[in-house]
């Protein structure tokens, strides 16, 4: 699905419509030292280590894609509610 790189949209901070840059949100790198990661690694150790069944067949064929909107005037970033599509491409219009 093609999406425009720039949109004219309401900015709640500027309280008016401004030109906003669109980018796609990507999850950050997982830290091995995070408490959840350490606990999970500890639980998985040893005999009978797998705590929950591994997902054999995923029910969904798509993932939710979140867009980040950056206001060109105040530089504030907003997340747009994710929509389910296979692939999103940003194109200049």
| Interface contacts to Zn ion, rule CB under 5 A | 11, 13-14, 71, 73-74
Q: How far is the CB of 78 from Zn ion (least distance, A)?
A: 9
- Residue 52 burial (10 A CB sphere; 0-12, 13-18, 19+): exposed
Residue number with CB closer to Zn ion (62 or 72): 72
Residue number with CB closer to Zn ion (5 or 38): 5
Residue number with CB closer to Zn ion (37 or 73): 73
Q: How far is the CB of 85 from Zn ion (least distance, A)?
A: 27
Which tokens go with 87?
């692939």
Dihedral over Cα of 42, 48, 51, 54: its sign? positive
Identify whether the C-beta of residue 18 lies closer than 8 Å to the C-beta of residue 72: yes
- Backbone torsion region of residue 51, taken as left when φ is above 0, otherwise alpha when ψ lies between -120 and 50, otherwise beta: alpha
Q: How far is the CB of 86 from Zn ion (least distance, A)?
A: 31
């Amino acid at each position: 699905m093609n999406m425009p790189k720039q949109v004219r949209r309401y900015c709640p901070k500027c309280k008016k419509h401004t030109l906003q840059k669109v980018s796609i949100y990507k999850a950050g790198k997982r830290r091995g030292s995070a408490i959840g990661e350490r606990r999970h690694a500890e639980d998985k150790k040893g005999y009978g280590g797998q705590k929950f069944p591994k997902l054999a067949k995923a029910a969904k064929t798509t993932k939710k894609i979140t867009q980040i909107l950056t206001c060109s005037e105040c530089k504030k970033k907003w997340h747009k509610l994710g929509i389910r599509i296979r692939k999103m491409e940003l194109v200049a219009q």
